[in-house]
Amino acid sequence: MRREIPLAITFLVGLFMLVDFFVPHHSVSAAAEEMKQWGTIVIAASILLGVGNLIRVHYRKIRRKQDGWGYSITTLVAMSVMLYFGGPWGTIAEGSAFNWMFLNMQVPLQSTMFSLLAFFIASAAYRAFRLRSAEAGLLLVAAIIVMLGRVPLGQLLTRGLPEKATLPWLTETIMTYPNMAAFRGILMGAALGVMAMGLRIILGIERSYLGGEK
């Protein structure tokens, strides 16, 4: 029963949501609307699960004094301080200490972390982007046209040429026609995959989300 009941829940909930899509009757849509609110609550719990697991992992690291356990203390202290200001007993409002920590600590940390990628992509472009085949050449040419055409420099470089020979026009044409076509093919293929997988899950054929244990 430990697997059968969840499978039955998946089937009934999935079927009801599909019925809601096709049946406009008020009784169906009212019930579906309430269930959608339930969905947001359960999703919130699943995110809490993730955060809880983070706390558990770092706590274990500190207790066992594993490599880098000092940094785990930093993580948990930072979490505690921010929660002290913004938790159930605190406030997340504009001008609060929680808000200050978000804007002056989390925002710069997160922004800077991802901005490192600019350096690495430049390094990768130099070291790894090789013209090894005709297909790679096609990729390279498209990349260079788009990189130059999507910045004002591209407009400057081809100023004076007929409109259809300018880098911005070429870039927009590449994006609107061959790029669009390829991504539409990918989109449609992915849609078929999602629909098939969704049906398999609802019908109980695909059960990997339940995990391995009995």
Partner 1 sequence: MSEGFDLRRIDRRIIFVLVLVAVVWPLIAPLRLPMDVSPPVQNLYNTIEEIPAGSIVMLAGDYSPDTMPELQPMTDTFLRHAFRNDLRVVVACLWPASPPLVERALLPLADEFGKVDGVDYVNLGYMAGGTVTLLGMGASIPNTFPSDYSGTPVREIPLMQEVQNFDDIAFVMEISAGTPGTREWVQQVQSRFRVALGSGTTAVGAPNFYPYVQSGQLVGLLGGLKGAAEYETLLEYPGLATKGMDAQSVVHALIVVFIILGNVAYFAARRKGRA
Partner 2 sequence: MNWLHMLFNGPPGTPASVVWGFWVAAILTISIYSFLYKDNPLYKFAESLFVGLGAAYWLALLYHETLVPKLLHPLFPGGSGDPVQWIRIIPGVLAVFMLLRFFPKLSWLSRWALGFIVGMYSAVNITGFAQADFVAQIYATMTTPLNSGGALAIILNVVAIVGVCATLIYFFFSKEHKGVLGGFARLGIWFLMIAFGASFGYTVMGRVSLLIGRMQFMLRDWLHIIE
The entry of partner 1, partner 2, none near residue 127 (CB within 5 to 8 angstroms by kind) is partner 1
Whether the CB-CB separation of 68 and 79 falls below 8 Å is answered with no
| Residue 99 engages partner 1 in binding (rule: CB under 8 A) | yes
- DSSP classification of residue 166: S
| Residue 144 engages partner 1 in binding (rule: CB under 8 A) | yes
What are the helix (H) ranges across the chain?
Answer: 4-22, 26-63, 69-86, 97-101, 107-128, 134-149, 152-157, 167-174, 180-202
The entry of partner 2, partner 1, none near residue 126 (CB within 5 to 8 angstroms by kind) is partner 1
In the set 23, 131, 144, 156, which binds partner 2 (CB under 8 A)?
Answer: 144
| Residue 101 engages partner 1 in binding (rule: CB under 8 A) | no
Radius of gyration of the chain (CA): 26
* Separation of alpha carbons 146 and 140, rounded Å: 10
In the set 23, 52, 129, 189, which binds partner 1 (CB under 8 A)?
Answer: 129
Instruction: Specify the stretch interacting with partner 1 by CB under 8 A; choose among 8-16, 50-58, 75-83, 151-159.
Output: 151-159
